[in-house]
A and B are shown apart, each in its own frame.
Chain A
């Protein structure tokens, strides 16, 4: 009995430091956020409950819709751009057709350590009138007055940001896929090559099925990552011009910290949480269904 009691005390004292910090900083604020999302604020003071008014206002705000669409673009580039490119890079390195694979892997993975702010400011310069990109285009097209104008185009303003996201995060998926490719036994490839299987057949019927699980995990990572994107966009464009490159997190930031609209801001954050939980549940559902069909 005494032993049990002291065991339980030990259990709690090992667990509580982590659990208390977690509850205090994450769980409690989430609940508070939910409560706040039904309130209205003026001059740093709560002025009453407004029910679902904030939610209706957000969902009908064209600026929020634009931000959401921009998040969708980021998501598409992450899932359909970064992941396939990551698989391809990982596969080329894994197959050892080239020498110095370690060197290539190390160089391509390098951007993972650079802060988004630095990446954003660097690429702003790349696209600036004295940047690499501009200079190259000027030389190629022989037009010394060329400048990048795509930021001012409402439809395509996100393109430079999407390019930078590809540059920054593709290597993360490369490393994840590479680690998983290395778990496939070497003999599988040898047998397939001896049987005269074409490379594309190997990729389609050995590599991709083996990676299915990881592709799913990476899609979840990519989706939740793209919903929270803030740093890069903030440092690169701050959402401008107007709201052309705004994303949901930036919209939330402006509501809370520029307009001190805490209730409205909280409602935005709840919408982001719901979207991310919903999307991930959806991906999980699709994956489970595909898996059943495959088997």
Chain B
């Protein structure tokens, strides 16, 4: 017995060492480039060229001043907020109402609708981008906020409806029946009961949808043309893209583009982990 525990301890020691080495290495690999990007953004281009890895000797905010002045980053930030926030709110609302309809009404057609939505998980932006572009040109939606928000909602819905349905299915029927007997309408039940109970799943859906919309690139890139309509990733790409040779300027633009999401990550970390973790279980 004594020997056994000793042996286990020995084995554990090996694994412990290995775990530390591996996890520290991976953390370093993850953070290294980000830290380098951040402190390099306080160096002027010349200093970066001469001493690429050194910490800034003459730390300066000049890069940031120029990035903000010429990069149009502020208007891009506003657009990103509009695109992501509006589409996320509507995706949450639509997916919960559809989830309610599909799980609590008992109609046969529910199965068909559910299947159609699930099919959407396999369809990517690439596969509709050409016709969508032609449609938006013809209807005048091209280069408008709505022209980006609608596709964001559509592509967010399949996953959101799956998550919403599996949650709402678990709400006791008795709750809804009691409200119906009291004379409540279905719309009233949705807004007062279903939405109230569904707050945890609302958080999960919002966080996942907001994240993917905020970082989306192709739709904004192809369905808008003017600087005034661009989102943050598209603006950063055109302003600080790979052909830009002013490294200092580029780093500061990248840092500015990362900060909002970093804040988001710190706030929403737990919901994100929960959302991604459980999302894959449900499928």
Contact surface of A with B, Cβ cutoff 8 Å: 6-8, 10-15, 17-19, 21-22, 24-30, 32-33, 36, 88-89, 92-93, 95, 97-98, 104-118, 120-126, 128, 130-132, 134-135, 167, 171-172, 175-176, 178-180, 193, 196, 198-199, 214, 217-218, 220-221, 224, 227-228, 230-231, 234-238, 248-249, 252-253, 256-257, 262, 265-266, 269-270, 272-273, 276-277, 280
Task: Assess whether A21 is in contact with B157, with CB atoms less than 8 Å apart.
Answer: yes
Bound-complex Cα distance A114 to B186 (A): 41
Q: Which of these, A21, A95, A130, A270, contacts B247 with CB under 8 Å? A: A130
Confirm or deny: B59 has a beta carbon within 8 angstroms of a beta carbon on chain A. no
18 residue pairs from A and B, CB less than 8 Å apart: A7-B186, A21-B154, A25-B153, A97-B12, A98-B20, A109-B269, A115-B233, A121-B241, A122-B37, A125-B251, A134-B52, A179-B277, A234-B217, A234-B237, A235-B237, A237-B242, A262-B134, A270-B127
Chain B interface SS verdict (over half):
helix
Q: Which of these, B4, B16, B272, contacts A112 with CB under 8 Å? A: B272
Task: Assess whether A266 is in contact with B123, with CB atoms less than 8 Å apart.
Answer: no
Binds A, one of B22-30, B64-72, B198-206: B22-30
Contact surface of B with A, Cβ cutoff 8 Å: 4, 7-8, 11-12, 15-16, 18-20, 22-23, 26-27, 29-34, 36-37, 48-49, 52-53, 93-95, 97-98, 100-102, 105, 107, 113, 116-117, 120-135, 150-151, 153-155, 157-158, 161, 185-187, 190, 211, 214-215, 217-218, 222, 232-234, 236-237, 240-242, 247, 250-251, 254, 257-258, 261-262, 264-265, 269, 272-274, 276-281, 283
With contacts A98-B20, A121-B254, A235-B242 taken as known, whether A113 is within 8 angstroms of B277 at the C-beta atoms is no
Contacts of A256 in B (CB 8 A): 129-130, 133
Interface centre among A15, A118, A196, A269, by most chain B C-beta atoms within 10 angstroms, is A118
Bound-complex Cα distance A89 to B18 (A): 11
With contacts A15-B101, A33-B131, A227-B124 taken as known, whether A104 is within 8 angstroms of B27 at the C-beta atoms is yes
Q: Which of these, A18, A176, A220, contacts B277 with CB under 8 Å? A: A176
Q: How far is the CB of A256 from chain B (nearest CB, A)?
A: 5
Q: How far is the CB of A211 from chain B (nearest CB, A)?
A: 11
Task: Assess whether B153 is in contact with A21, with CB atoms less than 8 Å apart.
Answer: yes
Task: Assess whether A11 is in contact with B105, with CB atoms less than 8 Å apart.
Answer: yes
Bound-complex Cα distance A76 to B191 (A): 46
Task: Assess whether B242 is in contact with A113, with CB atoms less than 8 Å apart.
Answer: no
Task: Assess whether B30 is in contact with A110, with CB atoms less than 8 Å apart.
Answer: yes
Interface centre among B29, B124, B155, by most chain A C-beta atoms within 10 angstroms, is B124
Task: Assess whether B49 is in contact with A17, with CB atoms less than 8 Å apart.
Answer: no
Interface centre among B16, B94, B153, by most chain A C-beta atoms within 10 angstroms, is B94
Which residue of A is nearest B29, CB measured?
Answer: A167
Task: Assess whether A93 is in contact with B101, with CB atoms less than 8 Å apart.
Answer: no
Task: Assess whether B276 is in contact with A228, with CB atoms less than 8 Å apart.
Answer: no
* CB contacts between A and B, total, < 8 Å: 293
Task: Assess whether A280 is in contact with B127, with CB atoms less than 8 Å apart.
Answer: no
Q: Which of these, B135, B233, B269, B279, contacts A29 with CB under 8 Å? A: B135
Contacts of B132 in A (CB 8 A): 25, 29
Bound-complex Cα distance A114 to B12 (A): 35
Interface centre among A22, A88, A124, by most chain B C-beta atoms within 10 angstroms, is A22
Contacts of B37 in A (CB 8 A): 122, 125
With contacts A15-B97, A36-B130 taken as known, whether A214 is within 8 angstroms of B19 at the C-beta atoms is no
With contacts A112-B272, A231-B218 taken as known, whether A178 is within 8 angstroms of B126 at the C-beta atoms is no
Contacts of B23 in A (CB 8 A): 89, 92-93, 98, 104, 108
Contacts of A95 in B (CB 8 A): 15, 19
Q: Which of these, B151, B185, B272, B281, contacts A10 with CB under 8 Å? A: B185
Q: How far is the CB of A68 from chain B (nearest CB, A)?
A: 14
Task: Assess whether B151 is in contact with A25, with CB atoms less than 8 Å apart.
Answer: yes
Task: Assess whether A92 is in contact with B94, with CB atoms less than 8 Å apart.
Answer: no
Task: Assess whether A224 is in contact with B124, with CB atoms less than 8 Å apart.
Answer: yes
Q: How far is the CB of B137 from chain A (nearest CB, A)?
A: 9
Q: How far is the CB of B52 from chain A (nearest CB, A)?
A: 4
Task: Assess whether A269 is in contact with B264, with CB atoms less than 8 Å apart.
Answer: no
Pairs A-B, 4 closest by C-beta atoms: A179-B277, A25-B154, A10-B186, A29-B128
Bound-complex Cα distance A122 to B33 (A): 7
Task: Assess whether B125 is in contact with A18, with CB atoms less than 8 Å apart.
Answer: no
Interface centre among A89, A122, A221, A270, by most chain B C-beta atoms within 10 angstroms, is A122
Bound-complex Cα distance A11 to B100 (A): 9
Bound-complex Cα distance A48 to B4 (A): 80
Task: Assess whether A113 is in contact with B262, with CB atoms less than 8 Å apart.
Answer: yes
Bound-complex Cα distance A132 to B51 (A): 11
Contacts of B12 in A (CB 8 A): 97
Task: Assess whether B161 is in contact with A18, with CB atoms less than 8 Å apart.
Answer: yes
Task: Assess whether A18 is in contact with B94, with CB atoms less than 8 Å apart.
Answer: yes
Task: Assess whether A199 is in contact with B15, with CB atoms less than 8 Å apart.
Answer: yes
Which residue of A is nearest B137, CB measured?
Answer: A44
Task: Assess whether B11 is in contact with A117, with CB atoms less than 8 Å apart.
Answer: no
Task: Assess whether A117 is in contact with B30, with CB atoms less than 8 Å apart.
Answer: no
Contacts of B217 in A (CB 8 A): 115-117, 230-231, 234-235
